[in-house]
């Protein structure tokens, strides 16, 4: 042990002497630290410069590969949708399942989720598709800019679903430039409301008699009142 320690000490002293002689030993670590700081700053700036959709979520360049967006199943429908995984997925999949069970059966091609961000205006609600936080239901049936595509009884259920989701989801039909096929997450990343809602929806899956697929009464007085209150609120904040 003594022999090894002495050898290491001699080698260390020799390196120190070479470093002092060349004048590089004291400056090299400083330069490395500066380079690391510059690199970290550049990475942070790059992250900050990544475009976000209208609702504040970062747009994704790809899905199903090094991304927060993945193609996920919609249980009970046989369909899949490309969506931001986690709480956003839980909420949007619940919406789709209620539509499938209570409004009209969804078929292959009826639902689209994430789209590549190229061509999207970040100031438009459709940009939410590029962050994986929105979806379209039968876009061919409800062309953007037009209204009246939903039957009154269908719209009653849509309003009930939005109220059940506590306003975390916004319907594009309420926007100034209507887009009746579009449904978007309407809260920012990290929203406590989104977390609470997703946790509640996941809890429903574990208790028979609750959640999507269990008949709800959208004509119930309390549910109608909640739906109408949310409608007024979301129309008042139309963009």
Least confident of 38-42, 108-112, 193-197, 230-234: 38-42
CB 74 within 8 A of CB 80: yes
The secondary structure element, H or E, covering residue 84 is: strand 79-84
Same domain, 34 and 129: no
**Tell me, what's the pLDDT at 239?**
85
- Residue 47 scores a pLDDT above 70: no
**Residue 57 belongs to some domain of the structure:** no
**Residue 103 belongs to some domain of the structure:** yes
Mean pLDDT, the chain, rounded, equals 83
SS3 of 168, please? Answer: coil
**Residue 26 belongs to some domain of the structure:** yes
Same domain, 18 and 125: no
Same domain, 127 and 229: yes
Tens digits of residue pLDDT in 137-187: 999 899 999 999 999 999 999 999 999 999 999 999 999 999 999 999 999
CA distance 219 to 151: 15
**Residue 198 belongs to some domain of the structure:** yes
**Residue 62 belongs to some domain of the structure:** no
Number of structural domains (the chain) is 2
Same domain, 27 and 73: no
**Residue 63 belongs to some domain of the structure:** no
HSE-CB of 92 using CA atoms within 13 angstroms: 33
Question: Which residue segment(s) compose the domain that 33 sits in?
Answer: 9-49
- Residue 37 scores a pLDDT above 70: no
Same domain, 75 and 156: yes
Read off the pTM.
Answer: 0.78
**Residue 76 belongs to some domain of the structure:** yes
**Tell me, what's the pLDDT at 214?**
67
What's the rounded mean pLDDT across residues 11-34?
Answer: 38
């Amino acid at each position: 042990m003594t022999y090894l320690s002495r050898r290491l000490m001699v080698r260390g002293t020799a390196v120190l002497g070479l470093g002092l002689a060349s004048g590089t030993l004291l400056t090299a670590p400083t330069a490395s630290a500066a380079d690391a700081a510059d690199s970290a700053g550049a990475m942070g700036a790059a992250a900050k410069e990544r475009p976000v959709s209208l609702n504040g979520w970062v747009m994704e360049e790809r899905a199903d590969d090094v991304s927060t967006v993945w193609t996920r199943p919609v249980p009970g429908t046989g369909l899949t949708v490309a969506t931001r995984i986690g709480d956003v997925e839980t909420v949007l999949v619940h919406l789709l399942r209620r539509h499938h069970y209570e409004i009209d059966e969804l078929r292959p091609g009826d639902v689209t989720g994430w789209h590549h961000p190229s061509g999207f205006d970040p100031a438009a609600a459709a940009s939410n598709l590029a962050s994986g936080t929105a979806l379209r239901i039968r876009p061919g049936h409800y062309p953007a800019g037009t209204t009246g595509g939903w039957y009154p009884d269908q719209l009653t259920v849509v309003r009930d679903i939005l109220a059940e989701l506590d306003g975390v989801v916004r319907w594009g039909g309420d926007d100034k430039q209507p887009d009746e096929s579009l449904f978007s997450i309407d809260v920012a990343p990290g929203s406590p409301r989104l977390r609470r809602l997703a946790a509640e929806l996941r809890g429903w899956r574990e208790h028979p008699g609750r959640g999507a697929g269990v008949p709800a009464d959208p004509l119930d007085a309390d549910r109608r009142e909640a739906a109408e209150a949310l409608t007024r609120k979301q129309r008042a904040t139309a963009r």
